[in-house]
A and B are shown apart, each in its own frame.
Chain A
């Protein structure tokens, strides 16, 4: 959004393409009353930008052309400069019972509630790691949910260091104060994580580990996410260099592929502030307004430091590798249990032998999980980068003619 607005201001022809039914990504989904969200939605609404939503980019048949699938059609997108802002997804870790209905991502449940799911009077255990847990818990509580506990796997000492480092970020401190007010009376425990989810057709209770002791908590939902992982499938398809899981960019957010820029979470998990400033820099750079882009470098430096702080604070503790039992399903698409994966040495071998990561999500869920559990690295990405209808694939040949 920020990139599109800034590029359009420079009088360049701009189009924005979003997979979702509305713009604003996951954070600004469902029209939050947040000041920045209102500002940028307004700027985009008024900007001279061609807006396409509900379109998912799945293929690059030739240089400077992308194909996207809509509800009933495919469209061909031609560009000279491209800004990729694919955001992030939650990291999920397998534990016994995590495949039960009503065990969801923390952001996942929030997205469902933003999309109309009634949550009033429901009991929701919030668990995992990262600042998103607090944001989600506060949101759910505001909408009438009861939150018996928030389990954070990071240690108290790591959280204390995080708290101390926040003094450089007054906005974050006031956000933190606000969250604390909204979550007054809700127990927040560090050194704590889910051990198992229980239920028949749907979730009934959760066993948690809490500083070495276990506790069974009855609940309607478990909102569980282990911080975020960047969506780098499209940048990979475009040939952008990735290091340590993140898209490599230069000072102007340009990737290793000329005229392909990248902004936001794919370059570092830094939240909306980093995404906005990187988007603006990418947009200005794409319009060749490098002097304007430079003015934002200081702001970006600060936001990147915060990203590094998040990374340090919410690093996963090794204990979480012991969560799955032999029968725990790791690949939810192909129902591959942990025991079958233990036999293999690499992601590729596991894929070939067990079909792990070969289902419709294409390893988006089990890829980051196996990376943590076994240090496996996913290799190449092939088109279509998302499952598409056969008609769309058939259309690929035609559009190339």
Chain B
């Protein structure tokens, strides 16, 4: 059964995550783009990889840098074409 969203799916948006291009559905959040790129969002203070937990802007686990601005909550920000996203991962990233 097609959902109401997929019926009129607009063209995807392309942005970069850690320098590699990622195409996401229009309206997707940056957290989704990071997940689709197969990356963790950040490294915790003791060095663990972390990804989104709450999905609603409360837990701050999905922090990434967007167009040079650090600590953006990626689950609250909609992808725009050409956005440059960098995960806040220490070492090899």
Interface residues of B, dominant DSSP: loop
Please name all residues of chain A whose beta carbon is closer than 8 Å to the beta carbon of B44 when the two chains form the complex. 99, 329, 332, 335
Query: A201 contacts which chain B residues (CB < 8 A)?
Result: 40, 49
| A-chain residues with CB within 8 Å of residue B58 when the two chains form the complex | 89, 231, 361, 364-365
For B32, the chain A residues whose CB sits under 8 A away are 112, 115-117
Of the stretches A18-26, A40-48, A124-132, A306-314, the one at the interface is A18-26
Instruction: Encode A177-220 as 1/0 by CB contact (under 8 A) with B.
Output: 00000000000000000000000011000000000000000000
Interface residues on A, range: 35 or more
What residues of chain B lie closer than 8 Å to A332, measured between beta carbons? Answer: 44, 50, 53, 59, 61
- State whether A112 and B59 are in contact (beta carbons under 8 Å apart), knowing that A21-B78, A201-B40, A332-B44 are contacts in the complex: no
Q: Say whether A116 contacts B24, CB under 8 Å.
A: yes
Residue of A21, A104, A118, A202 near B53 (CB, 8 A) is A104
Q: Which of A92-106 contact B (CB under 8 A)?
A: 92, 99-105
B39 to chain A: closest residue by CB: A101
Judged by a CB distance under 8 angstroms, whether A274 is at the interface is no
Q: Are A108 and B55 in contact (CB under 8 A)?
A: yes
Q: Is residue B29 contacting chain A, with contact meaning CB distance below 8 A?
A: yes
A104 touches B52 (CB 8 A): yes
Q: Which A residues are within 8 Å of any B CB, using their own CB?
A: 19-21, 26, 30-31, 33, 89-90, 92, 99-105, 107-112, 115-118, 142-143, 201-202, 231, 329, 332-335, 359-361, 364-365, 387
Q: Report B's interface with A, CB cutoff 8 A.
A: 1, 3-5, 24-25, 27-29, 31-32, 35-36, 40-41, 44-46, 48-61, 63, 71, 75-78
